[in-house]
Each structure stands twice: as structure tokens, then as C-alpha cells.
């Protein structure tokens, strides 16, 4: 009974994680740059990313904890998402902002590309966990 509850809860939290990341990345960020000026969009995105990263860390860590006794492989993937998101928030994001502030376009493009790739990997990994849990 407890395993069933933990499994169901971890599935829901992982779905929340996947949907939140997908909506923020593909929906919100793209929308902001379509409707706001570049300066306004950059300002808003800088304000939105720190809470987004906290959402990803909290959701993935919670899902990992919930499924630890039920599916260790999924828990490890979710834990890895949490850990690498901390890196993204604490190291990568400040470096991206510094490169943008200093007008270092090449460095910004490289770091931003790494950030986008990391987020895409998180989305794919959480989708894989969802599929595994649902099977």
C-alpha cells in the first residue's frame, strides 16, 4: 500500500516537474521575448529564472525522495536533475548574466547554449522517468 502511494505521488510530482519545465522553457520564455522589448524581456527573464531553478530543484528532489524505495533508477535520475540544476542556478546563471552585462557575446552564447542544453536534458530525462514510472 505504501509503495503504491509513494509511486503514485512520485509520478505526479515528476509530471509536475516535466510540465513546469516544458511550459517555462517553451512557453513562457518564448512568449516574453515576443511581447516585450528586448530590455524588458531580459529584465523579466533574469527575475524569473532563479525561482524557476528552485522549482526544478525542489520538484526533482521531492520526486526522487518519493520514489527512492520504489524505483532507485528513477530516483537517481531525478536526483541528478536536482544536483545539476543547483549548478545551473549557482554557477551557470551568474556567469551568463556577467557575460551579458560585460557585452561578451561569444561567451554569453556559449554559456547560454550550455544552459539551454542542460534544461533540454532535464526535460528529456524527466520524460524518460515518467514513461518508466507509467509502464
Confidence check: pLDDT of 2 > 90: no
Residue 112 reports pLDDT greater than 90 = yes
Burial of 126 (0-12, 13-18, 19+ CB in 10 A): buried
Task: Tell me what the mean pLDDT of segment 28-49 comes to.
Answer: 94
Amino acid at each position: 500500500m505504501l509503495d503504491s502511494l509513494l509511486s503514485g505521488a512520485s509520478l505526479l510530482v515528476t509530471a509536475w516537474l516535466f510540465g513546469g519545465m516544458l511550459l517555462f522553457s517553451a512557453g513562457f520564455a518564448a512568449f516574453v521575448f515576443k511581447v516585450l522589448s528586448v530590455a524588458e524581456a531580459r529584465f523579466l527573464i533574469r527575475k524569473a529564472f532563479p525561482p524557476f531553478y528552485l522549482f526544478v530543484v525542489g520538484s526533482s528532489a521531492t520526486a526522487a525522495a518519493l520514489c527512492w524505495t520504489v524505483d532507485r533508477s528513477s530516483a537517481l535520475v531525478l536526483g541528478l536533475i536536482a544536483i545539476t540544476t543547483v549548478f545551473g542556478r549557482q554557477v551557470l546563471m551568474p556567469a551568463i548574466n556577467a557575460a551579458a552585462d560585460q557585452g561578451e557575446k561569444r561567451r554569453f552564447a556559449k554559456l547560454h547554449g550550455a544552459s539551454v542544453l542542460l534544461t533540454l536534458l532535464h526535460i528529456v530525462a524527466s520524460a524518460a522517468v515518467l514513461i518508466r514510472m507509467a509502464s
